[in-house]
Amino acid sequence: MTDASNQMTREGYNQLTEELNYRSGEKRKEIGERLKEAISYGDISENSEYDAAKEAQAENEDRIKEIEATLRTAQVVDEEEGLEEGTVQTGRYVAIRDVKYDEIMVYQIVGNTEADPFKGKLSNMSLVGQHLIGHKEGEELDFEVPEGMAKYQILKVSNEKLDEADFQ
């Protein structure tokens, strides 16, 4: 099994690449213009516009470095390849039922940098994500969580987006 610590979907990789291009191009230019304007006001020692622009510049450069490091080590996962169909892996969509609460949830399993559970993107490195990886439709999983034991049933695994309403 490959190291899942920096796996990403193609969509996530492309989004980060777009953000990098924006931050290293247009955003850098905007901040540079703000700095020029702030410097034109004179004494920079008591110039709040200058301080704000310098802070924005530092934050932007830090984010650029972070994105570059992430992209440099990224492993883009092709959800069409790898494990057999019906098996949970990064990039695939999964519908699961929380047996304890009889609640259905649909997620796309994504890399850690893409995770946003409120948008249906569950990290492959999260507690639930780690336990789902490699399992198949129909399987039930029991594992320990901070609140006790969790029990999930995998209802469907797909390369295509799933609709939660189809499982209600």
Residues 104, 97 contacting (CB under 8 angstroms): yes
Question: Taking each helix axis from N to C terminus, what angle separates 48-73 and 28-40, rounded to the nearest 10 degrees?
Answer: 160
Separation between Cα atoms, residue 136 and residue 83, nearest integer Å: 10
DSSP 87: B
pLDDT digits (tens, 9 = 90+) for 54-90: 999 999 999 999 999 999 999 998 766 666 788 999 9
Distance, C-alpha 148 to centroid of its chain: 27
pLDDT digits (tens, 9 = 90+) for 108-151: 999 988 999 899 999 999 999 999 999 999 999 999 988 889 99
Domains and CATH numbers, the chain: 7-77 (1.10.287.180), 93-167 (3.10.50.30)
- Specify the pairing of strand 148-158 against strand 93-98: antiparallel
SS3 for 7?
strand
pTM: 0.76
